[in-house]
């Protein structure tokens, strides 16, 4: 299931504060993006239709919840990005981001640590 650019904004919001009422989403995105309420409603509706959100009726209103995991969507989107732009290779993408992104020393350290453990695992015959 394919989530469009604009729809990601909605999904991000829902993932962060699930469950939400449409009101909250509408207000938030009105501020963020200058979207009209109607536009946000369309997004919500489409996302429900494509199975990314589900609703639970509470009186007159609905509560919206994600029905797909953020992780899965991130993974799919990342894959497709890598495929398109870096010929499916993670390493060049990583090099690119490291080169051109702003990173705090803490972030750098954290990534290094992760790389270390990954390298260690690679060497360890029993763990790979």
Q: List contacts with a copy of itself (CB under 8 A).
A: 5, 8, 12, 73-75, 77-78, 80-81, 84-87, 90-91, 93-105, 107-112, 114-116, 118-119, 122-123
Our finding on whether 42 is near DNA (CB under 7 A) is: yes
CB nearer to a copy of itself: give 49 or 118.
118
> For strand 20-21 and strand 53-58, is the pairing parallel, antiparallel, or unpaired?
unpaired
Backbone φ and ψ for 88, nearest 5 degrees, come out as 80, 0
Binding-residue total with DNA (CB under 7 A):
26
Query: Which residue in 12, 17, 23, 117 binds DNA (CB under 7 A)?
Result: 23
CB of 61 to a copy of itself, least distance (A): 27
CB nearer to DNA: give 18 or 111.
18
Rounded Cα gap, residues 53 and 11, in angstroms: 8
Our finding on whether 41 is near DNA (CB under 7 A) is: yes
| Residues at the contact surface with DNA, assessed by CB under 7 A | 2-7, 21-23, 33, 35-36, 38-39, 41-46, 48, 55, 59-62
């Amino acid at each position: 299931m394919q989530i469009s650019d604009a729809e990601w904004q909605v999904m991000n919001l829902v993932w962060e504060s699930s469950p939400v009422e449409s009101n909250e989403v509408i207000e938030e995105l009105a501020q963020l993006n200058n979207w009209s309420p109607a536009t946000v409603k369309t997004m919500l509706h489409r996302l429900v239709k494509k199975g990314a959100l589900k609703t639970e009726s509470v009186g007159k209103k609905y509560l919206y919840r994600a029905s797909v995991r953020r992780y899965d969507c991130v993974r799919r989107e990342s894959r497709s990005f890598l495929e398109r732009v870096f010929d499916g290779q993670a390493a060049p993408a990583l090099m690119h981001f490291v080169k051109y992104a702003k990173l705090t020393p803490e972030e750098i350290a954290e990534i290094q640590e992760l790389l270390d453990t990954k390298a260690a695992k690679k060497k360890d015959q029993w763990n790979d």
